[in-house]
A and B are shown apart, each in its own frame.
Chain A
Amino acid sequence: MTINNNVALENNRPRVDIRQKVTGAAKYTADQYPAKLMYARMIRFPYGKGIVESADLDAARAVPGVLEVELDTSKTYEYQGASMGHVAAESLDAIDDAIAALKLKFDYEKPRVRQRQLFRSVPEPNESEKQKLAPVFEKAAAVVEATYETQVQTHSCLEPHGSVADHRGDSAVIWGSTQGTFAYLDGIKDVCGLPPAKITVHNEYVGGGFGSKFGPDKEGTLAARLSKKYKRPCKAMLDRREEHLDGGCRPGSIQYMRMAVDKNGKILGGRMYMASSVGYREGGGGVANVAGRIYDLGTLVRSDTEITLNSQSPRAFRAPGWPQGVFGVESMMDELAAKIKMDPLEFRKINDVSERRKRQLDRGAELIGWKNRKPDGASPGRIKRGIGVASAMWPTWPTVCSAACDIHRDGTVEVRSGVQDIGTGTFTVVTDVAANELGIDRDLVTGKVGNSEYPRGPGSGGSVVSRSVAPAVRKACADAKEQLIKALASHWKTTPSEVTMVDGNFMFGEKKATWKEACSVISGDKITGNGRTETGAEGSSDGSSDCVQFAEVEVDTETGIVRVVKIVAVHSAGQIVNRKTIENQICGGVAQGISYALFEQRILDRNTGGMLNDGFIDYKIAGPVDIPEIIPVLDATEQDTGVRPIGEPATIPTAGAIANAVANAIGARVRSLPITPAKVLAALEEARKGATA
């Protein structure tokens, strides 16, 4: 593959599908209303743990409009929102009436809901660990021991999970709100009883996923199963409560650390014991290990465990394990720096493993005004200002992706790949890379994604799509263009190597053809080129993305309210394709990070196991008034010739930077997310007591 460096790839035009989204013309899965539609919903268990004692199935089945009711009363259910069965009906109203008619009675027991109470003490290190750590702590100029805690966060995609399945006997068309076109296809084919080639999964527009929407899940299989059975389209969408209870969450964590540092600011090592609070069964936890990826943490003894709760199991959530892990480690970084009275920025540069990130630290420091940063707690008055910083990175790994490019006789181009756009700008990346590779205007190109009939590509997980679809599209376009030049050369009675392209025109001696004129020599309707990457990492070798974020906050020491004033987000993302969409995604990652740092938290009732804040009224996510000035800085150099990840790194360091800024403002540390007013006031009170003691 050759990277077309003749024309600058980077552009600053709006995403290609902006009009459809702004005018409401974009049709998501939830917006599909095929003729003869039937509806289905699951019946959800209302307690943390228990059984169904009785249910009036006959009454539910007798409700007008109800097609079927299934309920499993034999099981012990282990979380609120667990599916007990389903109702299918002609309308959503009939489903509600049927569930009411069931007159369900339950018995329940006290659930496991509080991670802190369930956290067993930190185990003693074993003998070999003790021996390993002994010299570390002997040499230490300072040691900090602290425990950090993070909450459970729900994905809260605005479009709920769901599916509209239309099984037509020997074929099926399925709309799925999914971030994995082919994970969905592979997951649904057996339910449909059809080979994959007979099924079309549509996911052109997806109302957010954030890691929670890969396979068809219960609702997808339910819709497909019922559509097949009743020979008509079936729609099964979750509602907001179901989204909070069974639509995915980031696990909580308790992170114990005891770290040693020498007098020059070099981290010597220490011990970490990380617990993740997960669902009703083990799995899905994990706190990212940043050792060697962000910082050299020296001699580290680390062990991890999981705490089960009566709740849904976690799902991958935008950089799984990372925002929580970086919050913990970056809090510890500042505590260590404070203990040896070193500037936190200098301290980071001593221990960071990436030269690039050290440069990013300097760049961000200038933009946030680090030199004006006051010592911890030195900001005067009731409302105190503080500045904090946190760093992150995101790795890459081999990803296979395919694409196809059609050049039509009229000069228009269609580029297809079965990857998906979940707000990430994939339509735009595909379109812009194709236009760049072909050397033509974007308006001639239609990028197409979100359909299982297109060439296979990866799901939107691990921030792999842009970086892998870009080389696949390039190859497909290069293949098609080569065929076009061949056709033109033959028309001009020369060889393809004699034909050149200058300023968008094809030239051979005195002969000249515009793009459209060249396309008119195509025999048949079109030329099709194919492209495939086995690695998804063409371009400059270092595949990872680095980033640092700085936060400036104001803390009201009487109310405990934290207001973020400014965020500077410095990110490398390789070669920039579209500046607007990438800046948008960085600002969005920051907004989600602010939300995680200050507001979001799932609260389960200790007696019933019910979620107390299962709507957007009381599960608070950051809204317009909570968003500060956000300055995205793209750290791209001429050496960055490949597209790199941005979706996940953009949200990783925000909470850590805010936590450090709060500590700098008030001179007391909140070691637990979210940083609520109550926790701020408690930290201030503790600091006051400490000062007077």
Chain B
Amino acid sequence: MKNSSPDEPSPGRLLATPHSRRAFLKGMGIAAGATVILTSEVSAQDATAPAEQAVKYYGNGPQKISLKINGTEQSVEVEPRTTLLDALREQLHLTGPKEVCDRGSCGCCTVLLDGKAVTSCMMLAMDAQGHEVTTVEGIAKDPKYKAMLEGYYENDGAQCGFCIPGFVVRTAAMLEENPSPSPEEMRKGLSGNICRCGTYTKIFESVAAAAKGGAK
């Protein structure tokens, strides 16, 4: 044996040393002293904080902040490292957005931020202040999306269903930009999301029906 006794950099990927974003983001916080959550590079590009937000300083312990979610201001207590997804699920128990990859590569945690689709695992909760966050629960209640949801209902757009809330939110954002996508545009528009059951064929039929139904 005696190959190494790694501190860092590690030759393998050390599971037991959390290179998780949770730890990474916390590390950033410590490095900055009093944490300054600016328009962070790790947040989704669309999620630029308003200018007045950029000068607000936070410590690195839990902080009370207010988030506007599905039209209602809600108070949450988050650390600088807390992702928007964790705030939604762990604190508000809004469980439509799912944690699957925790790296922005599956789309299952997709929410709307000011109407644009973002993966909420890739965004800090603090960065969502001052924005309108819409989860699938909000979409489900909004009459504006009735035709889109009907498209999914009528075409059996789910198997195990774990990825579907993410697809639904992504579809809402896609149809907003392009109300009548071609099959190819549809595939590209949904390409940030994956489904392990392989429900894609029925999802395409759902989205096509939604587009035809005039969903926005």
Residues of A within 8 A of B (CB): 14-15, 17-28, 30-31, 33, 43-47, 50-51, 53, 80-81, 84, 91-93, 96, 99-100, 102, 104-110, 156-160, 205-208, 210, 239-242, 245, 422-425, 580-581, 583-585, 587-592, 595, 605, 607-611, 614-617, 621-625, 627, 630
Q: Can you show 5 pairs from A to B with CB atoms below 8 A apart?
A: A24-B136, A28-B98, A31-B93, A91-B90, A624-B188
Instruction: Say if the beta carbon of B168 comes within 8 Å of chain A.
Output: yes
C-alpha gap A93/B23 in the complex (Å) = 8
C-alpha gap A452/B211 in the complex (Å) = 41
Contact of B160 among A100, A206, A240 (CB under 8 A): A206
CB-based nearest B residue for A621: B194
In residues 91-107 of chain B, which contact A (Cβ within 8 Å)? 93, 95-103, 105-106
Contact indicator B12/A608 (Cβ below 8 Å): yes
Contact indicator B136/A610 (Cβ below 8 Å): no
Instruction: Say if the beta carbon of B66 comes within 8 Å of chain A.
Output: no
Interface majority SS on B: helix, strand, loop or mixed? loop
What's the least CB distance linking B110 to chain A, in Å? 11
Evaluate whether A587 and B201 lie within 8 angstroms (CB atoms) in the complex, with A24-B135, A46-B14, A625-B187 already known.
yes
Contacts of A589 in B (CB 8 A): 198
Contact of A207 among B102, B153, B162 (CB under 8 A): B162
C-alpha gap A14/B197 in the complex (Å) = 17
Interface centre among B7, B105, B188, B190 (most CB of A within 10 A): B105
Evaluate whether A99 and B159 lie within 8 angstroms (CB atoms) in the complex, with A46-B10, A625-B187 already known.
no
What's the least CB distance linking B197 to chain A, in Å? 5
C-alpha gap A242/B101 in the complex (Å) = 11
Evaluate whether A616 and B165 lie within 8 angstroms (CB atoms) in the complex, with A14-B154, A46-B16, A627-B200 already known.
no
In residues 65-94 of chain B, which contact A (Cβ within 8 Å)? 79, 81-82, 86, 89-90, 93
Contact indicator B3/A108 (Cβ below 8 Å): yes
Contacts of B26 in A (CB 8 A): 93
Interface centre among A158, A581, A585, A615 (most CB of B within 10 A): A158
CB-based nearest B residue for A50: B1
Question: How many inter-chain contacts with C-beta < 8 Å in the A-B complex?
Answer: 253
C-alpha gap A99/B22 in the complex (Å) = 12
Contact indicator B136/A23 (Cβ below 8 Å): yes
**Number of chain B residues close to chain A: CB under 8 A:** 77
CB-based nearest B residue for A632: B201
Instruction: Say if the beta carbon of B156 comes within 8 Å of chain A.
Output: yes
Contact indicator A423/B12 (Cβ below 8 Å): no
CB-based nearest B residue for A32: B95
The 9 A-B residue pairs with the shortest CB-CB distance, nearest first, are: A24-B96, A591-B198, A423-B160, A21-B161, A207-B162, A608-B12, A588-B198, A423-B159, A31-B95
Contact indicator B188/A625 (Cβ below 8 Å): yes
Contacts of A611 in B (CB 8 A): 13
Contact with A along B187-206 (1 / 0, CB 8 A): 11011011111111111100
Residues of B within 8 A of A (CB): 1-7, 10-18, 20, 22-23, 26, 79, 81-82, 86, 89-90, 93, 95-103, 105-106, 108, 135-137, 139-140, 149, 152-165, 168, 186-188, 190-191, 193-204
What's the least CB distance linking A9 to chain B, in Å? 17
Contact indicator B96/A100 (Cβ below 8 Å): no
Contact indicator B100/A240 (Cβ below 8 Å): yes
Contact indicator B199/A45 (Cβ below 8 Å): no
Evaluate whether A592 and B161 lie within 8 angstroms (CB atoms) in the complex, with A46-B17, A93-B22, A240-B103 already known.
no
What's the least CB distance linking A36 to chain B, in Å? 14
Contact indicator B13/A621 (Cβ below 8 Å): no
Q: A92-B86, A585-B159, A592-B196 are in contact. List 6 more A-B contacts (CB 8 A).
A: A19-B153, A93-B82, A106-B5, A208-B162, A587-B198, A624-B203
Contacts of B135 in A (CB 8 A): 24
C-alpha gap A506/B108 in the complex (Å) = 49
Contact of B156 among A104, A580, A625 (CB under 8 A): A580
Contact indicator A584/B160 (Cβ below 8 Å): no
CB-based nearest B residue for A158: B162
Contacts of B203 in A (CB 8 A): 624
Contact indicator B96/A44 (Cβ below 8 Å): no
Contacts of B17 in A (CB 8 A): 46, 99-100, 104
Contacts of A15 in B (CB 8 A): 156, 158
C-alpha gap A587/B156 in the complex (Å) = 12
Contact indicator A43/B16 (Cβ below 8 Å): yes
Contact indicator A588/B193 (Cβ below 8 Å): no
